[in-house]
A and B are shown apart, each in its own frame.
Chain A
Amino acid sequence: MSDPMRIRAQAQGDKTTVRVLVSHEMESGQRKDAAGKTVPAWFIQNISATHNGKTVMSAQWGPAVSKNPFMQFSFNGAKAGDKVIVSWTDSKGDKRSDEAVVT
């Protein structure tokens, strides 16, 4: 089971800025372990955010994204108290979804 994401969403006027810190190994598949064997690739492939059921951000990630990545984006139309849900799916099929309240 993966660790929760740290999500902060701040509204300023019409614009809401969301900062997400994701806990993930993000193995590129290019590294070798101490025994010389390739560490299998394991990374987040899809990540998206929804607000009131509407997708406000979606991205496809690959092996070049760092371990424990940080992501920031902004969208329009959210008010304080609204919920933003961020979810990801990785290359092993693991999923995780966390939510934050807009402040």
Chain B
Amino acid sequence: MKWNLPGLVVLALLPLAAAGQKTTAEGIAEYRAMLADGNPAELFEARGEALWKQPRGPKNASLAQCNLGKGPGVTKGAFVELPRYFADTGRVQDLESRLLTCMETLQGFNAETIAKTPFGRDEQKTMESLVAFLSGESRGMKFNLPQVHTQEKLMYAVGKQVFYQRGGPYDFSCASCHGEDNKRVRLQDLPNLTKNPGAGDGFGAWPAYRVSSGDLWGMQRRLNDCYRQQRFPFPGYASDATIALGVFMGVNGKGGMSTAPALKR
């Protein structure tokens, strides 16, 4: 009996303690805020800036004259208007596919070889730092993807198709997880990418540093992993399908603020 009394008191207190607990989403937000102060993406940004200016490749040239859509060498605000149509290549391109073009035309690298390189190796590593730097140049700016050229409108329509395309052994589509509000995977809240605020928050957070793997992931790697989780075959790096998805998410996220390069679990 001597033992039971304190035990009862503790039991009586338990519901109170549970009521005072944070929700999981609050807990994750707090964790991110704690880490945001020292986001290692900053290290990639610094490296990317150096790589942008450094003469490299067979032609020993820098990327400083690369046109990301706002004129040669303009980096500020370019990221929030990508993917967009480029007249010189005749394609709609996202940041990574555009960088491939610049690395090929300016520096003399072989874009196809880089596209085939596994993530996190050789020139793909360069790419990680470059996208961190270039997205960081538009930090805090609002997404404003152009939808003027026929190709841009077409890519939005294609992106929508791809987003809702069900297939694979799980009969999954992007929309299975990202087409409704309040969905989650385990503890992770999933943004609804078909409208704001989800589209702006979700699309606007990549590239991001992933604490769990200690890597910086660009949008291409993010999409690649989405397809892995759906048990689809991997999409080609910088393929039109991935760019179309980028257009779809980016246009849906219009007006949303870019926080990239962000910090992810």
Instruction: Name A's B-contacting residues (CB within 8 A).
Output: 3-4, 6, 19-21, 23, 66-68, 70-72
Contact = CB atoms under 8 A, between A and B. Distances in A.
Interface in B37-52: 37-40, 42-43, 46-47
Nearest to B35: A70
A89 B43 CA distance: 19
Contact of B43 (A6, A19, A66, A71): A6
Contacts of A20: 38
Contacts of B40: 21, 23, 67-68, 70
B204 to A, nearest CB: 23
Give me the 7 closest cross-chain CB pairs, A-B, nearest first: A70-B38, A68-B40, A67-B214, A23-B43, A21-B38, A6-B42, A21-B42
B49 to A, nearest CB: 12
B2 to A, nearest CB: 42
11 contacts: A3-B43, A4-B46, A6-B43, A20-B38, A21-B39, A21-B40, A68-B40, A68-B214, A70-B35, A70-B37, A71-B38
Contacts of B214: 66-68
A49 B39 CA distance: 21
Interface string B222-242: 000000000000000000000
Given A6-B46, A21-B42, 8 more contacts: A3-B47, A4-B46, A20-B38, A21-B38, A23-B40, A23-B43, A70-B35, A70-B37
B43 A68 contact: yes
B121 to A, nearest CB: 12
Contact of A19 (B38, B46, B47, B211): B38
A21 B40 CA distance: 7
A67 B40 CA distance: 9
A68 B46 CA distance: 14
A4 B214 CA distance: 17
A3 B47 CA distance: 8
A74 to B, nearest CB: 14
A20 B38 CA distance: 8
